[in-house]
Amino acid sequence: MYRFQPKKPIKSFRDLEVYQKTLECAVIFSTDIKPQLAKQHYDLLEGMTNCALSIPLYIAESHSMRFSDFKVAVATLEKAMLGCNKMVVYLEQAAGIYGNKIPTDMLLDISRRYMDVRGKMWRLEKSWQKFRQADQNLAKLKR
């Protein structure tokens, strides 16, 4: 039987599930995947490392800016979504190149996690837009 539990209030970017999941992916990448790719002398490892960490950074930035500069906040959240897509490409390429030397299931699992969280980011952006529109409508009514 399913029990309803309301979501915890968001007090900071650290409470956002998309931040938690992307930080988790970055940690898994850094501890489990990066060392194995380094042993293989993967040419794109530095870009992949930067991309993995930039995603939670973009989420934190966008959450902080959403009230002061909404358009920039949304653009920054979209950079995080783009980063997820880039990580999927990096991971799938690594699986294709090193599939016989690195467990492919691990690479594809983290790739799937990035795609799942990307969808959650898209829904977060839509909810921000909905709340912004509601705030604008309320402001118009107060005039």
CATH number at residue 136: 1.20.1440.60
DSSP string, 70-93: HHHHHHHHHHHHHHHHHHHHHHHH
What are the C-alpha distances in Å from 90 to residues 19, 43, 45? 20, 11, 9
Domain boundaries, position 127: 13-142
Q: Is residue 5 part of a domain?
A: no
Q: Is residue 113 part of a domain?
A: yes
How many distinct structural domains can be found in the chain?
1
pLDDT, tens digit, 9 for 90 and up, residues 51-95:
999 999 999 999 999 888 999 999 999 999 999 999 999 999 999
Q: Above 90 in pLDDT, residue 97? A: yes
